[in-house]
Structure 1
Amino acid sequence: MGSATGPYSQVTNIAEQHIHLTPPRREEVVWPVEVGPVPELATAFQPRTVVREGVDAARASGEGVVLTQVFSGGGGVGKSQLAAAYAGQALAEGAELVVWATAGDEAQIMAQYAQAAARVGVPGADGKDLEEDARAFCGWLATTSRRWLVVLDDVTDPVVVEPWWPVSRTGTGWVLATTRLRDARLTGGGRRRVDIGVYTPEEAAAYLHTRLAGEDMEHLVDEQAGQLAEALGYLPLALGHAAAHMINEDLSCTAYLALFQEEETRLEEILPATADAEGYGRQVTATLLLALDAAQRADGNGELVVPVLRLAALLDPAGHPHTLWATEPVLTYLTGHRTETPTEQAQQGPAPRPAAVTAGQARAALRLLHRYALLTCDTRAEPRAVRIHALTARAARETTLGHQVPDLATTAADALLEVWPDPDEPHPDLAATLRTNSEALSTHARQHLWHPEGHLLLFHAGTSLINAGLPSAATDYWQSMTADSTYFLGPDHPDTLTCRHSLAISHGQNGRLYDAINLHEQVLTDRERILGPQHPDTLRTRHSLAVSYGQAGRIHEAIALGEQVLTDTERILGPDHPDTLFSRSSLATFYRQAGHTQDAIDLLQQVLADSERTLGPHHPNTLASRNNLVTSYLDAGRTQDAINLSEQILADSERILGPHHPNTLQTRRNLASSYWQAGRIREAIALEEQVLADSERVLGPQHPDTLTTRHNLATSYWQAGRTQDAINLQEQVLADSERILGPHHPNTLAARRNLATSYWQAGRTQDAINLQEQVLADSERILGHEHPDTVLVREVLSGWRRRQPRGRTGGRRRWPGRG
C-alpha cells in the first residue's frame, strides 16, 4: 500500500482516527511576478545611453530566439545596476515575469529557479526536489508564451552556470547575466558579451551634479569636478563613495581631489566604508581586488598573478607594451617571486616549481588576470596592450608590502629600458608610451629609482623628450630631474650634473638661448672641476656650449670652442664615435654661419659618409647631417643639389620621424627655401604656409624655428610682389626676434635687413636707408666686415644711396638672409 503523505498532506494520530488533509488548491498567479528581489537603482543612477544602445542592438538581432547579453567588466563599473535598470524597464514595458538570481554558485541559482517555479505554478514543481523544480522551471521558460526576463547576477564560474542558461523557443524571453569574467565559455550558445566600462566624462559629471544637488550640496561642485572624475577613473563605484564622503565631510571637488592625489593617502581613507551610501557591502579596495583569489585558484599560472599584478600596478594605467612581459628582468623577477596559491597553502609542503618562468607563462598569467577583469590584455592595442584601471592599480599598490617595492621598481625600470628602441624617433607611439610609463613608475617609486644613483631609465626618458622635439615638456622634465637628483644625491654628483646639462640643452631647444648658455657655462666649470677637463661628459658640455654660442650668433666663440672639442673627441673617443660625428657636424654649421661655405660642405660630406657607414642611412643623426648639407648647398648656390637632397630627406623623415617632428618641419622648410632659390615661388609659399601652421602648433608661435619660418614666408611674399603682406609679417618677425633672440642675434639682423628691403620696395626709401644703415653697423660689429652678409648689405645700401636699387640676380630679386 502506497504512502498517503506528501508535501501537502498532514497525518495526525487522534484516538485511532486517521484524518487526511488533501493538498490545498494552488492560488491563481497574479501577474506580473518578480522573484529576487531586483536591486534598487542607486541615487543619481546614470542610464548609460551609449552602452544601452549597443545592448538593444544586440538584443534586436536575436530574430525571435533568446539572445543572452553577458555584461562583463571589472568591479564597480555598474554591471548589476545596469541589469537592474533593464529589469525595471522590462516590468514597466509589460514583462510578466522577472527573476533575479545570484549566480555565484549552483545552489543559489537552483533555489531562485525553484522559488520562481512555485510562484508561477510550473507543472511538476512539487517542492520535493530543489533541482527537479529548477529544471521544471527551465522547461517552462522554454515553451511559455509569457514575456519574461531572467537575470543571472555575478557569474563566477562558467562550468557551474552552464546547465542553467534559460532558453526561449517562443521568442518571448530574454536572459541577462553579469560577470567579472572575460571567458569564451560564457559566449557560446547564442550568448553575446557586452563589455561594460566606466562612465563617460559626461556621465561622470552628470552623476556628481545630480548626486550632490539631491543633497542640496551643489556648492561642492566646482571647476575641479572634471579633474576629480578623471582621477577616479570615471569608476561608478568610486564616484558614488567619493560623492557620499564629500557630502559627509562638506568637501568641495577641489578639496577632495587634493586629498585623493596625496600619495600617502590610502583608498580606505578617501573612499571609506561610511561612504557606502548604496549598501554595496564591501570596501572599494576589496571590491577592486575581489577576483584576485579566484585568479590564484585557477589552473595553470595562478602563482604568478599576484607579482604580475603588482608590476602592472606601477606602470601607466593607460597601457604598456605586451613585449615587456618577455624581457629578461621581468622573467627573472617572476621566477623569484611566485606566490603560493590557496591550493599550495593547503598542502603540507610547497609543490615543486620549475626553475625559470618562461615568456609563455608570463603571458598566460596576464591572460588569467584579463579573464578575471583585473586588467586588460589586448595585443591589438599595442603599444598599450596591457591596461589596468587606475584604482585597481592603486588598490594593488596599497596591498603591496613596503619591502617589496624596491625590487618591483627596479624590475619595471630595467624592463622598460630593454624594450625601448634606440633610436626611438622612428617609433613615436612606442616612445610616447614608454615615456608615460616611466613617469608613472617614477611617481609611485621615485625614491627607489634614485638609490644608489639615478636609474638609467630616468635619463633615457628625458633624452627621448629632447629627441622627439618636445622642448617645453623636456624643460619641465629636466627641471624636476635636477631637483630630485640634488635632493637624493647632492649638487656635485655626476647624475646631478647630467640633469643640469640636459636642462641647458632643453633651454636651447626651447629658444631660451641665454638661459642655455649661462647654465652650460656653470655645468662646464663644475664638470671640469669634478670629472676633469678630458672626461667624455665634460666634452659633451663643451660641445653643447659651442652649439649654444652658435645659436646665439656668437660665431667666433662657437668656432674656437668647436674646433677644440673636435680635436679632443677625435683623440679621446675616436674618429667614428657618435659624439665625434656630432661635433664635426656642429663645427660645419659654425663654418657655414661664418660664411666659410666650402669648408662647411667638405666637413659635412665627411660627416654624412661616416654617419651612413657607422649609424646607417636612416638613423635620425644621418638625416640631420643631410639637412645640414642642404643648407650649405643653398649658401653655395647649388640649388638643384639642394632640391634633390631635400626631397629625398623629406620622404625619409616623414616615414621615420613622422610628418610633424621638428626635424621633418626643418626639412620641409629647407625644401621651401630650395624652391624659392630656384624661382619656384608659388611652391615655396604653399610649403611655407603649411610649415608655419605646423610650427605654431607643434613648437609654439614664439619658438625660434617658428620665427625663421615666418621670416622665410615674408621673403617669399616679397619675391611674389606681395609687398604689404611681406612688410606686415616682417614687422611681426622683427619685434618677436628682438624680444626673444635679442637685438644682436644674426636672425634678428636678417629680419631687420629684410624689412629694410621691403620698405625700399614699397617706396619708403628713407625708412629703408635708415634701417639698412643700422643693419650694416651691427653686421660689421657682430659678423665681421668680410662676412658675405655684411658685404651684401654694404652693396645694397650703396645702391640705395645712389637711388640705383641693387639686388637683382638673373632677373629675380635677391633677398639676403633666409633661415
Structure 2
Amino acid sequence: MSRWRRRKEPGVQVGGDVAYSAIGPYSSVVVQQAPAPDAPAVEWPVEVGSVPALASAFQPRAGLRERIDAVRAEGGTAVLTQVLSGGGGVGKSQLAASYAAGAVADGTDLVVWVPAGELQQVVTLYARAAQRIAAPGAAGEDPEADARAFLAWLATTDRRWLVVLDDIGDPDTVEGWWPSSRTGTGWVLATTRLHDARLTGGGRRRVSVDVYEPAEAAAYLRARLAEEAGLADGAEEELAHELGHLPLALGHAAAYMLNSGLGCAAYLDLFRRSSLGDALPPSADAEGYGRAVATTLLLSLDAAEAADPAGLGRPILRLAALLDPAGHPEALWETEAVLDHLDPLGDHEPEEIRASLRVLHRYALLTCDSGTGTVRMHALTARAVRETTPEEEFAGLAEAAAEALLFLWPEPERPDWELAAVLRANTVSLAAAVGPLVWDVIDCRQLVFTAGFSLFREGRLGAATAYWAAVADACAAFLGAEHPDTLQALARLAEAYSRTGRVAEAIEVEEGVLAACERVLGPEDNDTLVTRADLATSYAMAGRLPEAVALMEQVVADRDRLFGPGGADTAQARANLAAYLQETGRLSEALVLAERALVEMEEAVGPDHPTLLGVRNNLAAAYHDAGRPVEAVALKERALADAERLLGAEHHQTSFLRGNLAVSYWDLGRRAEAVALLGRAVAELRSVLGPSHPDVVEYAGTLALMRAAARSARPLWRRLLGR
C-alpha cells in the first residue's frame, strides 16, 4: 500500500491520518460565493472549449438539420435540448460543430464545447466558462462550485448561449449537470452513441443521426477530391455505397486517395480485393461498420507508413487508441516513456515523432490541434486499431501510456485543474481499453490511484467516493481481497466515507482493513499503523473517544518505538492524539502533545506545507480550551491564510478552518466578524457536502445560536459541547 502514499491529498492529513481538528466542533462549513470585486469586464462574445474544425467538404445534411430545427422549434423555450443519437462515425460531432461554428459566426454571446465522456471534464469546462463570463459566485478556487455558479447563470441570463455536450458515454455523467434556461435564450446540443431513455425527458428530445444519404456521400467524395483532377472519376456513388455511406470511412478513403493520387475506381478495386477488414472480428462490430472502418483504416495506415520515413505511424496509433477520444495532451509524445516505447534503440529524434503525427493527421487517422495542443482519435477508429493490435503488445503500450500520463500530472494541481481533469479522463479510457491488464502493470495501477487522489485534492468528495468504491471492487476481483492495493483502495474509500459524513460506513470498512493488514502485513507494518490511525479518527468522529484515545496512544507508542520521534506520520498521530485527549478533558496532556507535534511536523515537512494546517488548528483548539484565545486566533488566522494560498479559498478544508476561526472570533467578542465568517463557511460546505452532512448541520446550528447569542453570557463553544 505504501507506494501510493506519496500521492495522498496535501490537505490536513498525512499518511492516511485525518487531522481531527478538521471535523466536529472545530470545523466544516462553506462560503457564500460572491463575484470577485475586481473582475475585469467580460468581452462578449465568449467561446469556451475547443470546437472541432469542420471536415473538408463538410456536408450540411439539410434534411437532418431540418429535423433538428423542427424539434427545437416544436416546444418553444420548453424544448431546450436536442440529443443527437447514432452509431459511431456517422458525423454527430461534426454536425454539432457546424451548429457551434454557426452560432459563433452569428454572434451568439456564449458558445461552450464540452467533451462529456467524463464528469470531471464537464465540471472543468463549466468552471472555466464561469470564470470567462464572470458568473456571480465563481471565485476560481473550487471547480465544482464554479460549475454550479455557471449553471445558475445560464438559467437566468438574457444573453444568447449554446452549450454542446459531446459524446456522452454514460447518462450518469451528466445527471444533474444539464443546463437550463428560464429565459429561453439558451440552447443545448448533446451527442451520444446511446439510445437511452435517461437522456430524454425534462425538455430533452432525441434526434436520430444515421449515415449520409447516398447523394450526400457521393457529394462529399466529389467535393473532397475536386482539388486534384482525375480522382473523382465517376465511381463516387459506387464507392460511397461500398463504404456504407459512413462519414468516417469516407474520410479515411478520401484522405488516402488525395495523398496517393488514386481515383475512386482504383480505390474501390483495392478496397474490394483487401481482406484487411477480416481483422476486425464480427463480434466486436456492434454498429455494423467494421469492414468499412477497418479496411479504410488499414489501407490508410499502409499508405501513411509508406509516406513516413520514420515508420512510427502504426505504434503511434496503437498507443493513441488507448487514450480518451476527446483528446490527450500533445506533450505526451515528448515524454521519455513514450519516446522509449516508440524508439527503444534511440534511432529517432523527437522531431521525427512529431513528423509521424503530422502524417497520420494528413491521412485522417488522428487529429492534431496545434491551437490547443491536443491530439484526438475518433472512437471508432480507435476501436478498429485496438482490434487489430496483437494481444501481446498491450502490456507495453499500457505501461508507456500510464508512465507518460503520470509524468504529465501537475503537482500541485492547483491551478492546473483542467489538465488534471483531462488526465483523469485519459486514465479512465486507458483502464477501459486494457481491461484486467491494468492491474498487472504497476504504472497503470499507480495511475489509477493517482486519479483517485486527484479527486480528493480538488475536494470532489462525491466523485471520489464513487471512484474509490469502483477501484476497491476491481482490485478485489483481480488482485484478491487482501492484496495490499485492495486494502489501500478500501482505506481510501473509508476516507471518502468519513469526509462525506458516512462515519459508520467508514468504521466498518476500516475495521475490516485493519484486521486484514494485521494478518497480511503484520501489526507493526507502517500501513497497519496508518490504518489503525484512520480508524481512531473515525472513532473520534463517531463520538467513541475512549476507543479513539486507546488506538492512537498505541499508534504513537509504536511509531516512537519503531521509527523514533519525529517524522510526518508520527507528528500527525501525536497531533490527533492531542485532540482526542482534549475532548476527554485531559487538557494539560493535550497541550504538551499538540505543541510537540507542531514542532515535529515543521521539522519534517518545512514551515510552508499543507499538512501543517490541521496540526496548527489542533494546537489552536487546545489553546482555546485552555483560555488562551489570543494565541488560538493567531494560529487559526495563519492556518486559514495558508489554506487559502495553498488549497484555494473555496476548498472544503479551507471552509473548515474558516468556521473554526469564526468560533474563536466569537469568544473574543468579535461577533460581527464571527457571524459573517461562519455564514460564509456554512454556505460553502453546504454546496460541497450537502445540507444533511453532520458538520454542515452542526455549523448551521452554531450559526443560528450565534445570531441569538446575546441571550446567553455563557461562551458559545462551551455551551455547544456541554461543558
**TM-score normalised according to structure 2 size:** 0.59
Q: CA 1:697/1:268 → structure 2, altered by over 3 Å: closer, same or farther?
A: same
**How many angstroms does 1:669 deviate by?**
1.3
Does the 8 Å CA contact 2:480/2:486 hold for their aligned counterparts?
Answer: yes
Aligned: 1:318 with 2:326: yes
Aligned mates of 1:553, 1:657 — CA distance in 2: 28
Kindly provide the amino acid, as one letter, of the partner of residue 346 in structure 2. A
Does the 8 Å CA contact 1:807/1:813 hold for their aligned counterparts?
Answer: no
Residue 451 of structure 1 is matched in structure 2 by: 440
Aligned mates of 1:230, 1:405 — CA distance in 2: 40
Q: CA 1:81/1:406 → structure 2, altered by over 3 Å: closer, same or farther?
A: closer
Kindly provide the amino acid, as one letter, of the partner of residue 355 in structure 1. G
Match of 1:486 among 465, 476, 495: 476
Aligned: 1:554 with 2:544: yes
Aligned mates of 1:442, 1:461 — CA distance in 2: 11
Aligned mates of 1:223, 1:668 — CA distance in 2: 40
Residue 12 of structure 2 is matched in structure 1 by: none
SS across alignment from 2:523: coil
Match of 1:406 among 395, 420, 427: 395
Residue 355 of structure 1 is matched in structure 2 by: 346
Q: CA 1:204/1:425 → structure 2, altered by over 3 Å: closer, same or farther?
A: closer
Aligned mates of 2:296, 2:165 — CA distance in 1: 15
SS across alignment from 2:343: helix
Does the 8 Å CA contact 2:327/2:376 hold for their aligned counterparts?
Answer: yes
Residue 315 of structure 2 is matched in structure 1 by: 307
Match of 2:704 among 714, 728, 752: 714
Aligned: 1:45 with 2:65: yes
Aligned mates of 2:321, 2:207 — CA distance in 1: 15
Q: CA 1:691/1:439 → structure 2, altered by over 3 Å: closer, same or farther?
A: same
Residue 341 of structure 2 is matched in structure 1 by: 333
Q: CA 1:511/1:292 → structure 2, altered by over 3 Å: closer, same or farther?
A: same
Q: CA 1:41/1:420 → structure 2, altered by over 3 Å: closer, same or farther?
A: closer
Match of 1:523 among 507, 513, 519: 513
**How many angstroms does 1:447 deviate by?**
0.6
Q: CA 1:221/1:632 → structure 2, altered by over 3 Å: closer, same or farther?
A: closer
Aligned mates of 1:476, 1:517 — CA distance in 2: 17
Aligned mates of 2:700, 2:550 — CA distance in 1: 31
**How many angstroms does 1:407 deviate by?**
1.5
Q: CA 1:457/1:682 → structure 2, altered by over 3 Å: closer, same or farther?
A: same
Aligned mates of 1:452, 1:413 — CA distance in 2: 9
Match of 1:592 among 565, 582, 601: 582
SS across alignment from 1:532: coil
Aligned mates of 1:356, 1:574 — CA distance in 2: 51
**How many angstroms does 1:423 deviate by?**
5.7
Q: Over residues 735-777 of structure 1, what are the superposed CA-to-partner deviations in whole Å (9 max), with x where a residue is unaligned? A: xxxxxxxxxxxxxxxxxxxxxxxxxx5xxxxxxxxxxxxxxxx
Aligned mates of 1:381, 1:609 — CA distance in 2: 46
Aligned mates of 1:402, 1:264 — CA distance in 2: 14
Q: What are the ranges of 5 or more consecutive residues in structure 2 without an aligned counterpart?
A: 1-56, 70-88, 102-163, 169-186, 218-279
Q: CA 1:707/1:206 → structure 2, altered by over 3 Å: closer, same or farther?
A: closer
Q: CA 1:622/1:376 → structure 2, altered by over 3 Å: closer, same or farther?
A: farther
**TM-score normalised according to structure 1 size:** 0.53
Does the 8 Å CA contact 1:42/1:81 hold for their aligned counterparts?
Answer: no
Aligned: 1:393 with 2:394: no
SS across alignment from 1:460: helix
Q: Over residues 95-129 of structure 1, what are the superposed CA-to-partner deviations in whole Å (9 max), with x where a residue is unaligned? A: xxxxxxxxxxxxxxxxxxxxxxxxxxxxxxxxxxx
Q: Over residues 69-106 of structure 1, what are the superposed CA-to-partner deviations in whole Å (9 max), with x where a residue is unaligned? A: xxxxx9947979999xx9xxxxxxxxxxxxxxxxxxxx
**RCO greater where, 1 or 2, for CA within 8 Å and sep 6 or more?**
2
**How many angstroms does 1:448 deviate by?**
0.6
Match of 1:668 among 658, 661, 666: 658
Aligned mates of 2:619, 2:407 — CA distance in 1: 34
Residue 272 of structure 1 is matched in structure 2 by: 289
Aligned: 1:692 with 2:682: yes
Residue 224 of structure 1 is matched in structure 2 by: 199
Aligned mates of 2:350, 2:620 — CA distance in 1: 47
Does the 8 Å CA contact 2:540/2:548 hold for their aligned counterparts?
Answer: yes
**How many angstroms does 1:712 deviate by?**
2.5
Percent identity at matched positions? Answer: 41
Residue 464 of structure 2 is matched in structure 1 by: 474
Aligned: 1:616 with 2:606: yes
Q: Over residues 152-192 of structure 1, what are the superposed CA-to-partner deviations in whole Å (9 max), with x where a residue is unaligned? A: xxxxxxxxxxxxxxxxxxxxxxxxxxxxxxxxxxxxxxxxx
Q: Over residues 340-369 of structure 1, what are the superposed CA-to-partner deviations in whole Å (9 max), with x where a residue is unaligned? A: xxxxxxxxxxxxxx6255544444544555
**How many angstroms does 1:602 deviate by?**
3.4
Does the 8 Å CA contact 2:536/2:547 hold for their aligned counterparts?
Answer: yes
Q: Over residues 639-692 of structure 1, what are the superposed CA-to-partner deviations in whole Å (9 max), with x where a residue is unaligned? A: 333333333333332232123222111122122223222222222222222222
- How many residues are aligned here? 501
Aligned mates of 1:81, 1:421 — CA distance in 2: 32
Aligned mates of 1:46, 1:293 — CA distance in 2: 39
Aligned mates of 2:596, 2:192 — CA distance in 1: 65
**How many angstroms does 1:418 deviate by?**
2.9
Aligned: 1:283 with 2:303: no
Aligned mates of 1:264, 1:694 — CA distance in 2: 52
Q: CA 1:559/1:374 → structure 2, altered by over 3 Å: closer, same or farther?
A: same
Residue 56 of structure 1 is matched in structure 2 by: none
**How many angstroms does 1:405 deviate by?**
1.6
Aligned: 1:416 with 2:416: no
Residue 19 of structure 2 is matched in structure 1 by: none
**How many angstroms does 1:628 deviate by?**
2.7
Q: Over residues 400-421 of structure 1, what are the superposed CA-to-partner deviations in whole Å (9 max), with x where a residue is unaligned? A: 3322222211222222233335
Q: CA 1:666/1:430 → structure 2, altered by over 3 Å: closer, same or farther?
A: farther
Does the 8 Å CA contact 2:319/2:397 hold for their aligned counterparts?
Answer: yes
Aligned mates of 1:713, 1:47 — CA distance in 2: 54
Residue 242 of structure 2 is matched in structure 1 by: none
Q: Over residues 485-524 of structure 1, what are the superposed CA-to-partner deviations in whole Å (9 max), with x where a residue is unaligned? A: 2222222323222232222222222212222222222222
Aligned mates of 2:434, 2:582 — CA distance in 1: 47
Q: What are the ranges of 5 or more consecutive residues in structure 1 without an aligned counterpart?
A: 1-36, 50-73, 87-196, 210-219, 242-262, 274-281, 337-353, 722-760, 762-805
Instruction: Specify the structure having the higher radius of gyration (Cα).
Output: 1
Aligned mates of 2:352, 2:293 — CA distance in 1: 30
**How many angstroms does 1:584 deviate by?**
1.9
Kindly provide the amino acid, as one letter, of the partner of residue 603 in structure 2. R
Aligned mates of 1:335, 1:610 — CA distance in 2: 47
Residue 817 of structure 1 is matched in structure 2 by: 721
**How many angstroms does 1:533 deviate by?**
1.0
Q: CA 1:81/1:526 → structure 2, altered by over 3 Å: closer, same or farther?
A: closer
Aligned mates of 1:467, 1:208 — CA distance in 2: 32
Further displaced range: 680-689 or 536-545? 680-689
Aligned mates of 1:445, 1:590 — CA distance in 2: 46
Q: Over residues 418-448 of structure 1, what are the superposed CA-to-partner deviations in whole Å (9 max), with x where a residue is unaligned? A: 3335565675444433333222221221311
Aligned mates of 2:376, 2:569 — CA distance in 1: 38
Does the 8 Å CA contact 2:166/2:192 hold for their aligned counterparts?
Answer: no
Kindly provide the amino acid, as one letter, of the partner of residue 408 in structure 1. L
Q: Over residues 212-257 of structure 1, what are the superposed CA-to-partner deviations in whole Å (9 max), with x where a residue is unaligned? A: xxxxxxxx88443599x9999999879x99xxxxxxxxxxxxxxxx
Aligned mates of 1:698, 1:81 — CA distance in 2: 32
**How many angstroms does 1:562 deviate by?**
0.6
